[in-house]
Amino acid sequence: MQDELRSRVAGVAVGTAVGDALGMPLEFGPARPADRLVREMLPGRIPAGSFTDDTEMALALAESLLTNRPLNPEDLAQRFVTWIESHPPDVGIHTASVLWRFADGEPWETAVAAVQAHNPGSAGNGSVMRCWPVALAYWDDLDRLLDDSVLQSRITHPHPECNAGSAFVNATIYHLLHDLSPENAVAQALDDAAVPAALRAVIIAAPGKDRRDLPNSGWVRHTLESAVWGLLTTYNFEDAVVNVINLGNDADTAGAVVGALAGAAYGLDAIPRRWRTALRGEFPLGSGRIWHTADLVTLAEQLAGEGVWGCGSVGVWECGSVGERKLSTR
């Protein structure tokens, strides 16, 4: 069981980045025909295999959690400022509006309230795309997981559906890590996260949708609809992610969310080797530090801590793993 948990924890961190990178070249495009699905890493606005702002913001959240638990919103806000000041090539409009106000010195609560007041219905997917580090940090503490999932959302996306959506994604990951089936994990997470009725109805209906009826836009409802559809209508990591990214539109974000969920469901070794090998990304931007699969596995280990690995704060590879750098041989 412990090896299975390790694999699933690592699968979340690697799976989300893989989904992000696979979706990157399909972002803003139309849905692909069902008989011509993209199944490989392709170049887009950045090189093939590269993750995007979805994973970059998650890494900022992860580093904040490694420094502060419970989550310190001021620390996270400053890390987001450092990130946006590095001029990432793609930032959501709402997110950018909030972060530049942070950069100008406004307290985070004042800044986000002002941006939300300008467009009260704004409910984008910018917080659900990055929320997964909270699930790994609190893999054994559901109450704290729910609290910090909401808090990390409130810093940029305070709409109730964004807050609940982040809590829902992480609660689903929690239950998948604890060996619930995908169907049962989703059902339990809906209750744990107190998902509002309208969003709850969308999520419950998602598995019955035809792919032609999935807009996959940047609205949090559409992202969660696509991700749950991908998770609950397939039986392995590859099909879950491939089916979602080929919906086009906000393909990288939906890919990142379903990648985290499917990684928790199926584990690291279920992620195709060709994708793990191709995965890369720079963070912090401009630093020259290039992240690969092994780095994301190490990050997952650090977030989850000794409770998963049971052998000190470093060295998952020294804890009995042999041969290729992987967590289990199943």
Verify cis geometry, omega within 30 degrees of 0, for the bond prior to 70: yes
pLDDT > 70 fraction of the chain, expressed in percent and rounded:
92
Give the pTM: 0.93
Judged against a pLDDT cut of 80, whether residue 193 lies above it is answered with yes
What is the pLDDT confidence band of residue 92, given thresholds at 50, 70 and 90? Answer: very high
pLDDT given for residue 311 in this prediction: 47
SS3 for 278-312 is HCEEECCCCCCCEECHHHHHHHHHHHHCHHHHCCC
What is the pLDDT confidence band of residue 307, given thresholds at 50, 70 and 90? Answer: low
Judged against a pLDDT cut of 70, whether residue 317 lies above it is answered with no
Phi-psi domain of 258 (left: phi exceeds 0; alpha: psi -120 through 50; beta: other): alpha
| Cα gap 124→165, rounded to integer Å | 10
What is the pLDDT confidence band of residue 310, given thresholds at 50, 70 and 90? Answer: low
Higher pLDDT, 310 or 117: 117
What is the pLDDT confidence band of residue 196, given thresholds at 50, 70 and 90? Answer: very high
Q: What is the mean pLDDT of residues 160-177?
A: 98
Q: What is the mean pLDDT of residues 66-87?
A: 97
pLDDT given for residue 74 in this prediction: 98
pLDDT given for residue 135 in this prediction: 98
